[in-house]
Amino acid sequence: MPPQPQRSPLGEAFSWASRIMAVGVAMFLPAVAGNSLDTWLETRIFGLLGLIIGFVVGLTWLIRMTTGGQQR
């Protein structure tokens, strides 16, 4: 495999910024969807479940991203 060219520091910063924003969206959207479902069904549980699921998924994604996807 040919060696990959090195990125500039600005390119690396933009790459990490986009990854972190994607994790933020992954944490935020399940809570919004759960809240919308709560409003539609007139309940209170789905917003909380969405918040918990979004946090767990986002944190897991962030940890895998920072460790390079290595399994221990």
Does some domain include residue 36?
A: yes
Look at residue 57 in the predicted model and tell me its pLDDT: 94
| Per-residue pLDDT in tens (0 to 9) along the chain, 72 residues | 677 778 888 998 999 899 999 999 999 999 999 999 999 999 999 999 999 999 999 999 999 988 875 555
Q: Tell me how far apart the alpha carbons of residues 57 and 53 are, in angstroms, rounded to a whole number.
A: 6
Number of domains in the chain: 1
Q: Is residue 2 part of a domain?
A: no
pTM listed for this prediction: 0.74
Q: Residue 33 has what pLDDT?
A: 96
- The confidence score (pLDDT) of residue 66 equals 87
The pLDDT, as a whole number, for residue 44 is 93
Residue range of the domain that includes 57? 19-66
Helix ranges (DSSP H) in 1-72: 9-41, 45-67
Classify each residue of 29-39 as buried b or exposed e, where b means 16 or more C-beta atoms within 10 Å of its C-beta. ebbebbbeebe
Report if residue 11 sits inside a domain: no
